[in-house]
Amino acid sequence: MDQNTDWLIEFVHDYDDSYFVTKRGLDATLVVVKKFDLAVDEVMAFTCHQRANKALTAFHFHPDFPLEDRPGYMRRHAEGHELVLSVGSPLVALRERKMRVFEERVSGIGRGLAVRLHTAARFLAAGGSMTR
């Protein structure tokens, strides 16, 4: 079954702060057009969370909104970016805290290992076993 997806536009909007939002544009159904009284030049957008640092924004275009104008319209609008920031910023801070704890543990293990190796080297340099 061949499905025609010309009505669907999808791309990943990469913001300057390295966050990503997947944007999708599609024709609004007649129910949506009537319910929200969408004019030919109007668009309804909504955003929902996908996962860490990502959001999905869907643009419902009036069916008569020109296809060639849709991608540009979607790129000009920042829908989804606020949600990604509110979800992503705390996650970034949590990752940084976990990384600091990990680095402190690794450096503690490294220091302990260095002291042991230094002690063993001095022991061997002094002639080995102290019991004769």
Is residue 108 assigned to a domain? no
pTM strictly above 0.75: no
Which range marks the domain in which residue 23 is found? 9-88
Is pLDDT larger for residue 49 or for residue 30?
30
Collect all residues with Cβ–Cβ distance below 8 Å to 86 and sequence separation of at least 6: none
- The phi-psi region of residue 18 (left if phi > 0; otherwise alpha if psi is between -120 and 50; otherwise beta) is left
Is pLDDT larger for residue 15 or for residue 23?
23
Check pLDDT > 70 for residue 118: yes
Check pLDDT > 50 for residue 12: yes
Is residue 122 assigned to a domain? no
* pLDDT category of residue 1 using cuts at 50, 70 and 90: very low
Is residue 32 assigned to a domain? yes
Q: Which of 25-39, 100-114, 118-132 has the highest mean pLDDT?
A: 25-39
Is residue 2 assigned to a domain? no
Q: Average per-residue pLDDT in the chain?
A: 78
Is residue 73 assigned to a domain? yes
Is residue 100 assigned to a domain? no
Q: Which pLDDT value is given to residue 128?
A: 66
CA distance 34 to 29: 9
CA distance 12 to 99: 28
* pLDDT category of residue 62 using cuts at 50, 70 and 90: very high
Q: How many CB atoms lie within 10 A of CB 40?
A: 11
Check pLDDT > 70 for residue 6: no
Q: Which pLDDT value is given to residue 31?
A: 92
Is residue 124 assigned to a domain? no
Q: How many domains does the chain have?
A: 1
CA distance 45 to 25: 9
Is residue 101 assigned to a domain? no
